[in-house]
Amino acid sequence: MVDNGDVEKAGIVAEGGVRLDRALVTLFPDLSRARLQDLIRAGHVKRDGLPARDPAAKVAAGASIILTVPPPAPAEPVAEAADLPIVYEDDDLIVIDKPAGLVVHPAPGHESGTLVNALIAHCGASLSGIGGVRRPGIVHRLDKDTSGLIVVAKNDAAHQGLTAQFADHGRTGPLERAYAALVWGLPQPRAGTIRANLARSRFHREKIAVVSDDSGRHAVTHYAVAESYREATLVRCRLETGRTHQIRVHLAHRGHPLLGDTVYGGAFRTKAARLSLEARAALTALGRQALHAELLGFSHPRTGETLRFESALPTDMTALIQALRADAGDPARL
């Protein structure tokens, strides 16, 4: 360590002909490839005594590498004490049962009062900065008005391990993500898979749109009907990929937008008029899209232990379900 708090790491490249960033991942596995790329571009890497700023540059076997890691930059968001609904916590990660209405990280219009602000106060200096100064520790996110389970990394190694699992989408590991959603109508078939690429809408930048198979990002949602009512259905969705607004867009694309979703279900406002007064009141009280992240499973990034968490439906969704059941004339399920 040098006097200004920087940490120097040294190594010798064993395999030649590989990209510089990949060689550094092998030499310094405690740092993510994304962070190493940032350090390379910022001039913190020397190869054989000379600055190396191109992550894609090929390196020869036997090359000498010096990596200088500056101390973590302080997160811009300020610490704000808040009661966090913590489901699980250890030295590496923390699992939160996020309430609806809580923004995950600061953004224009939401500079404070976010989950990140509360996490900074709760975790202090241990919080990972890998996600960027605006998103320290954030591995994945939930929309502001989506409730449910979210995992946050508390150090660089945990962030790297969790990010890799989410990028792999559970193909080779135990990653699981399941959601409960209330949608208009009854999906047919009652269980199936929606495969439709997604991209930012060209016409409304705040919206995501389904695009052709040769553009956008690959997105897959598996769904199954759990319970049906007169005008709506409770479905459970499992994500094979995790794109922005994926469940909301996929189900709307199939003609079954989420109840309360003003962004993707605006054309279905007239459906609410067909509900009973009690169901309409419960939908109004919901005041958000009816989506809840009820299951989250992953491999612990340090121990390898499979962790699996479940979250009960929040009271606003259960109240709406009870009203929909009564509206459908099935009080026995209340």
DSSP string, 75-113: PSSPP------EEEE-SSEEEEEEPTT--SS-BTTBSSS
Beta strands 147-153 and 291-299, pairing class: parallel
- Please tell me the predicted confidence (pLDDT) of residue 332: 43
Q: What is the pLDDT along the chain (334 residues), one digit of tens a residue?
A: 444 567 889 999 999 999 999 999 999 988 888 889 989 988 899 999 999 999 999 999 999 999 998 876 555 788 898 999 999 999 999 999 999 999 998 876 677 899 999 999 998 877 776 666 768 889 999 999 999 999 999 998 999 999 999 999 888 889 999 999 999 999 999 999 999 999 999 888 789 999 998 999 999 999 999 999 999 999 999 999 999 999 999 999 999 999 999 999 987 778 899 999 999 999 999 999 999 999 999 999 999 999 999 999 999 999 999 999 999 886 444 4
- Rounded Cα distance between 6 and 85, Å, is 36
Catalytically active residues are 143
- pTM higher than 0.85 for the full model? no
Which pLDDT score, from 0 to 100, does residue 325 have? Answer: 97
pLDDT of residue 268: 79
Looking at residue 79, its pLDDT comes to 86
Please tell me the total number of residues recorded for the chain in this structure: 334
SS3 220: strand
Helices of type H across the chain:
20-27, 33-41, 115-123, 156-168, 246-253, 277-286, 315-327
Predicted local distance difference test score (pLDDT) of residue 330: 67
- The predicted pLDDT at position 1 comes to 45
N-to-C CA span, the chain: 64
What is the spatial distance between Cα 264 and Cα 262, in angstroms, rounded to a whole number? Answer: 6
* Per-residue pLDDT at 250: 98
Q: Cβ atoms within 10 A of the Cβ of 5, count?
A: 10
The pLDDT value given to residue 334: 40
Residue 109, pLDDT score: 66
Rounded to whole angstroms, how far apart are CA atoms 313 and 236?
A: 12
